[in-house]
Chains A and B, each alone.
Chain A
Amino acid sequence: MRPELEEIKYIEDYLLNKLSPEQKGEFEKRVKSDPEFAQKVKLQKVLLKRVNRLSLKHTVAQAHRKHTQRNTFMFKRNKNFFKSFISLILVLVVAYLIYLSDQEVNEQKNELDSLKQIPVAESVLKQKIDNLKETPFRFPIENSLGNKYEVNKIYSTNKSNNNIIKGIEIYNSSPPVSSFTDTIISIGHGYAMAFVENNLTMYYKHKNSYIKTVFYNCDTVLCKAGDFINKGQAIATFGRNSRSLHVEMSKEKFDAKKNDEVEFIDPAMIMPVK
């Protein structure tokens, strides 16, 4: 060790009372005769004191944090327990009321509606769809009731802020009838992909591209996710909650790369709209 460090060790030994009585006497003699050395001893003493004080403060602060955290946690837990207990009861009551009022409606509903609709992965559908025979698409409504439909385009903007057509709105413009439902019909051979929150997603193929089609505002779904659907087959109903059906289409080329942006297309480009 360097002589400076040896000296530090010497002072430390004195401060920690590790010196023999003779060494101690020698040390104190030097302090008296050597002001520079005395100053060093003073500094080191202050330092040792501060290290101890800071360490103790650190320990106290830790204990404080632990104590206050535990207390707020217990307080919160009690409060939360009470809160969740009340909300649980409320939820149960509300659920029971809804159950009572909806029982009739539920009975009428299609069985399939109550089945869990677990979305099918796109990759799975892609494999299945490769073997499909391609037929021209048709209009998704079977006009058997003599209803009149208006078709409007839905506009949106893409990333580069250009106006694009994202889909169409099929609006039942015939005079309101007390209860009517329209049937949505599959526009081609394809697969049902998902039914989430009244929106049915179908998967089709068209000229070297996958066409994802979403029907918004459906009432009851008539197929299950993953089902193969023939062209013209009824897939869902609409009209109870909304008089307009939104159809959005997006295209993904067979050889598309992962990061390619989803490209919306105008349904009118690939299917007849009247």
Chain B
Amino acid sequence: MTDKKLVELIKNGRHSRALSKLYKIYPAVVKHVKQSGGSLSDAEDVFQDAMVIFIEKAMKKDFELTASITTYVFGICKNLVFEKRREHQKDRLRNSSLGNEEDYKSIEDFLEEERRFQALDKVLIETGKKCLELLKMFYYDKLSMKTIAQRLGFKGETSAKTQKYKCIEKARNLTESVLIHSKNQSL
């Protein structure tokens, strides 16, 4: 499969399919992480994060592939390893030789966001599994309300829709309280 087709797959939301191709890069990443002193679980974390970063990036409308996907993903992984170690050592020096400035920023943003919303994610997952499933189906899987209603056993499309808005309301209230109680109040 060409890189272009892979990006098409991601843009069309067929992430599982794309991931099965993307995992061909995984062994090389494991090797790299181990060589730079990391463990297998470090490599697992780095690669999974890199997959999230890459897919989110590829889904953006203005995304343009400037190198092969392998190089691209490997670059993200390298930066992640570096960034995570820097975080660990609290060393604030930036290594400018790693990738271009913009890629670097997206990785920093990603890690920053993950940190900031950790508490929120936990609450979302724990308190509203059913709601989260519904929201996932609608926003991420982009299923029609009819299909969602069928899969989750709602009486009809309307009641599924109402439930969805209720879920958002509930989640929004949760988000508010969590964000106010956590140290990071800014959004």
Binding site for B on A (CB under 8 A): 1, 4-5, 8-9, 12, 40, 42-44, 46-48, 50-64, 66-68
**Which secondary structure characterizes the binding site on chain A?**
helix
Cα A57 to Cα B44 with chains together (Å): 13
The answer for the CA separation of A5 and B165 in the assembled complex, in Å, is 6
A47–B173 CA distance with the chains assembled, in angstroms: 10
Contact of B172 among A1, A9, A43, A58 (CB under 8 A): A43
Report the nearest B residue to A62, measured CB to CB: B16
- Looking at B47-55, B72-80, B83-91, the stretch in contact with chain A turns out to be B47-55
Contacting pair B20 A67 (CB below 8 A): yes
Give the docked Cα–Cα distance between A180 and B171 (Å): 87
Complex CA distance for A142 and B95, rounded to whole angstroms: 97
> Does B69 make an interface contact (CB < 8 A)?
no
Q: Name 20 interchain pairs, CB-CB below 8 A, sorted by A.
A: A1-B162, A1-B165, A4-B169, A5-B162, A5-B169, A8-B165, A40-B172, A50-B117, A50-B121, A55-B139, A55-B141, A56-B15, A58-B136, A61-B48, A62-B16, A63-B15, A63-B16, A63-B51, A64-B23, A64-B48
Tell whether, in the assembled complex, residue A56 and residue B187 are in contact, meaning their CB atoms are under 8 Å apart.
no
Whether A50 touches B169, Cβ cut-off 8 Å, given contacts A59-B19, A64-B48, is: no
Q: Are B48's CB and A57's CB within 8 A?
A: yes
- For A53, the closest partner residue in chain B by CB is B52
- Asked if B132 is at the interface (CB within 8 A of a chain A CB), the reply is yes
Task: Given A5-B162, A63-B20, check contact A56 B168 (CB 8 Å).
Answer: no
Bound form: Cα–Cα A40–B169 in Å: 10
B48 touches A44 (CB 8 A): no
- A60 and B51 within 8 A (CB): yes
B147 within 8 A of A: no
**Complex contact B176–A43 (CB within 8 A):** yes
